[in-house]
């Protein structure tokens, strides 16, 4: 879990890159940007807001030969060792980005490299490096008074409400390739940013494994439990799955299967489904791992606990008290109407 509200921009360098294939230029500022009290909080919000609003899917720097050959990883390591060199190192980062800007779709834009202090990740205060890029310009009107006339003229600028690309490099897990977060609002050139420029891959930690396994459980519930039983059992299966993760620090697949799968006939189906679908969810050979509580909380928020019926009626199941569905909701078949029904028991209606 990250907290960026106390983050301080200690240094900021601003450069510009063009598209190399179109013979556009690169512009490198000779000095760091001079921060001021008016613009600094606006830039901080511009840089960091997309990461506060985004799900925490971490990456790590990689290289097929050796991690040290990843250019951004090597530069980041140098900056963390010698923060005072960040402006000169920012020029290397910008040149590297320029060298990757060879696809016709890649847009020119400003590049901002910041040294960030007091970032919090997993309840630990760390320094970090921010690399951001603004590409799309918006038109806006400016006005000036000329004698007794108000005149309007058109200008172009960067919209501070939308960052086009960015990454945060946290000074943790250096031996694994650091922990990195990335945002990219322009999907047409995602490979250029993540693969060509940053050279990152998914960070496979407890957060990653917890999310992936719960996502796999959702797939099993939808593809196997629902067709074999019904929507109620699909919802209850996911509720049991999430509760199992919530109350344990370590995941053990055998204990999970025995506790969560009520119907013994579905256990072979579960094993078969995992063998078949494991590559899709990146859980090959995954039977034991530490559980990340934040990932469980995020998953619980996204799991649907509603039964939608074709008669325009919804039945919402309670994940906090799942035993209520077991005791007070029954499914049956009405011969006369030739329709399924749910029978719901209760003592009194609750005030909304």
| Domains of the chain by residue range | 2-137+153-203, 207-344
Query: What confidence score (pLDDT) does residue 190 get?
Result: 64
Minimum mean pLDDT range among 137-151, 153-167, 207-221, 326-340:
326-340
Angstrom distance (rounded) from CA 307 to CA 316: 6
Q: Quick: pLDDT tens for 23-66.
A: 999 999 999 999 888 999 999 999 999 998 777 789 999 998 89
Query: What confidence score (pLDDT) does residue 291 get?
Result: 94
Query: What confidence score (pLDDT) does residue 248 get?
Result: 94
CB 314 within 8 A of CB 256: no
Q: Quick: pLDDT tens for 283-292.
A: 888 999 999 8
Query: What confidence score (pLDDT) does residue 194 get?
Result: 92
List the structure tokens of 38. 């008016």
How high is the mean pLDDT of the chain? 90
Q: Is the pLDDT of residue 92 over 90?
A: yes
**Radius of gyration of the chain, Cα coordinates, nearest whole angstrom:** 26
Angstrom distance (rounded) from CA 168 to CA 161: 18
Q: List the beta bridge partners of residue 153.
A: 142
Candidates 297, 284, 228; CA nearest to 261 is 228
Reported as type and span, the H/E element at residue 316 is strand 314-316
Query: What confidence score (pLDDT) does residue 318 get?
Result: 67
Q: Where are the beta strands (DSSP E) in the chain?
A: 2-3, 8-17, 26-27, 59-61, 109-121, 124-134, 137-146, 149-158, 165-170, 179-184, 200-202, 250-252, 288-290, 306-308, 314-316, 329-334, 339-344
Q: Quick: pLDDT tens for 172-198.
A: 999 999 999 999 987 666 688 999 999
Report the residue count for the chain: 352
**Section 62-91 average pLDDT:** 95
For the whole model, what pTM was predicted? 0.76
Antiparallel, parallel or unpaired: β 288-290 and 59-61: unpaired
């Amino acid at each position: 879990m990250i907290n960026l509200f106390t983050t301080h921009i200690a240094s900021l360098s601003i450069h510009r890159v063009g598209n190399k294939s179109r013979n556009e230029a690169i512009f490198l500022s000779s000095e760091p940007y001079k921060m001021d009290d008016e613009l600094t909080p606006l830039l901080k919000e511009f840089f960091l807001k997309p990461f506060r609003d985004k799900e925490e899917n971490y990456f790590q720097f990689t290289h097929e030969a050796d991690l040290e050959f990843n250019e951004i990883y090597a530069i980041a390591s140098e900056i963390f060792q010698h923060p005072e060199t960040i402006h000169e190192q920012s020029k290397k980062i910008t040149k590297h980005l320029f060298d990757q800007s060879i696809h016709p779709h890649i847009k020119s834009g400003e590049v901002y490299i910041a040294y960030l202090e007091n970032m919090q990740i997993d309840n630990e205060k760390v320094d970090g490096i921010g690399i951001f890029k603004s590409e799309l310009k918006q038109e806006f009107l400016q006005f000036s008074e000329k004698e007794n006339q108000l005149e309007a003229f058109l200008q172009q600028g960067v919209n501070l409400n939308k960052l086009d690309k960015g990454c945060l490099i946290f000074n943790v897990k250096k031996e694994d390739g650091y922990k990195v977060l990335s945002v990219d609002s322009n999907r047409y050139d995602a490979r250029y940013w993540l693969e060509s420029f940053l050279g990152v891959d998914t960070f496979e930690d407890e957060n990653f494994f917890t999310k992936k396994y719960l996502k796999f459980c959702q797939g099993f519930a939808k593809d196997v439990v629902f067709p074999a039983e019904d929507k109620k059992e699909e919802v209850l299966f996911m509720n049991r799955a999430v509760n199992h993760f919530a109350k344990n620090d370590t995941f053990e697949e055998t204990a999970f299967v025995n506790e969560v799968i009520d119907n013994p006939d579905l256990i072979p189906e579960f094993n078969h489904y995992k063998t078949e679908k494991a590559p899709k969810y990146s859980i090959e050979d995954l039977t034991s791992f530490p559980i990340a509580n934040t990932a469980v909380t995020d998953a619980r928020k996204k799991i649907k606990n509603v039964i939608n019926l074709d008669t325009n009626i919804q039945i919402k199941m309670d994940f906090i008290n799942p035993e209520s569905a077991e005791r007070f909701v029954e499914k049956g078949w009405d011969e006369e109407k030739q329709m399924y029904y749910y029978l719901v028991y209760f003592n009194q209606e609750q005030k909304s």
